[in-house]
Amino acid sequence: MSKTEIKHVGVRFEGESCQISVWAPKAKIVICRLHDKTLEIPLKPQKYGYWYAESTLIAPGDRYKIDVDGKEFPDPASLSQPEGVHGPSAVMDLRFNWTDQDYQPPKNSEFVIYEIHVGTFTSSHDFDGVIRKIPHLKDLGITAIEIMPIAQFPGGRNWGYDGVFPFAVQHSYGGASEFQRLVNAFHAANIAVILDVVYNHIGPEGNYFSNYGPYFTDKYHTPWGDALNYDDRFCHGQRDFVVNNVRMWFEDFHIDALRLDAVHAIKDFGAIHILQEIRKETDQIISKSGKNRFLFIECDLNDRRFLDPLTKNGYNMDAQWLDEFHHALRVSVGEPKKGYYEEFNGLNDLAKAYEKAYVFDGNYSSHREKFFGTDSFGLEGYRFIVFCQNHDQIGNRMLGDRAVTIYSAAIARLMAFSVFMSPYIPLLFMGEEWGTEKPFPYFISHGDPELVEQVREGRKKEFDDFFTTSKVPDPQSESVFEEAVLDWEELNSEPYRQRLWYYKSLIALRKTNPLLKDIQRNELTVKCIEDKKILLLRVRKKERAIVVIMNFSDRVQHVNLPEDFKWRLIFDTHETQAELIVDTNEHTIIAYSLSPWCGYVFSSQ
Residues 207-243 have pLDDT tens digits of: 999 999 999 999 998 888 899 999 999 999 999 999 9
- Catalytic residue (choose from 298, 303, 318, 433): 298
CA-based torsion, 248, 251, 253, 258: positive or negative: positive
Residue 86's contacts (CB-CB under 8 Å, 6 or more residues apart) are 74, 206, 447
The whole-angstrom distance between residue 365's C-alpha and the CA centroid of its chain comes to 25
Instruction: Compute, in degrees rounded to 10, the torsion defined by CA atoms 244, 246, 251, 255.
Output: 160
> What 8-state DSSP symbol labels residue 232?
S
Lowest mean pLDDT among 228-237, 428-437, 500-509, 516-525: 516-525
Q: Report pTM.
A: 0.96
Secondary structure of the chain: what % helix, strand, coil (to 5)? 30, 25, 45
CA angle 109/419/430 to nearest 5° reads: 90
CA angle 448/450/455 to nearest 5° reads: 95
Please indicate whether residue 500 or residue 223 has the higher confidence score (pLDDT). Answer: 500
Q: Which helix (H) or strand (E) holds 95?
A: none
Give residue 15's pLDDT band: very low, low, confident or very high (50, 70, 90): confident
Q: Are 166 and 206 in contact (CB under 8 A)?
A: no
Residue 42, preceding peptide bond in cis (omega within 30° of 0): no
- CA–CA separation, 294 and 257 (whole Å): 4
pLDDT digits (tens, 9 = 90+) for 34-90: 988 889 999 999 999 999 999 999 999 999 999 999 999 999 999 999 999 999 999
Give residue 1's pLDDT band: very low, low, confident or very high (50, 70, 90): very low
The whole-angstrom distance between residue 586's C-alpha and the CA centroid of its chain comes to 48
Give the bridge partners for 11, in sequence order: 20
163 phi, psi to nearest 5 deg: -60, 145
Give the bridge partners for 591, in sequence order: 560, 581
Domains of the chain in sequence order? 10-90 (2.60.40.10), 111-512 (3.20.20.80), 524-604 (2.60.40.1180)
- Catalytic residue (choose from 196, 256, 261, 277): 261
Look at residue 222 in the predicted model and tell me its pLDDT: 87
**3 state DSSP class of 602:** strand
- CA–CA separation, 350 and 500 (whole Å): 26
- 298 noted as active-site residue: yes
Look at residue 577 in the predicted model and tell me its pLDDT: 47
If we measure between CA atoms, which residue out of 117, 196, 162 comes closest to residue 481? 117
**3 state DSSP class of 599:** strand
Other CB atoms within a 10 A radius of the CB of residue 177 amount to 17
- CA–CA separation, 520 and 127 (whole Å): 36
- 67 noted as active-site residue: no
Look at residue 605 in the predicted model and tell me its pLDDT: 79
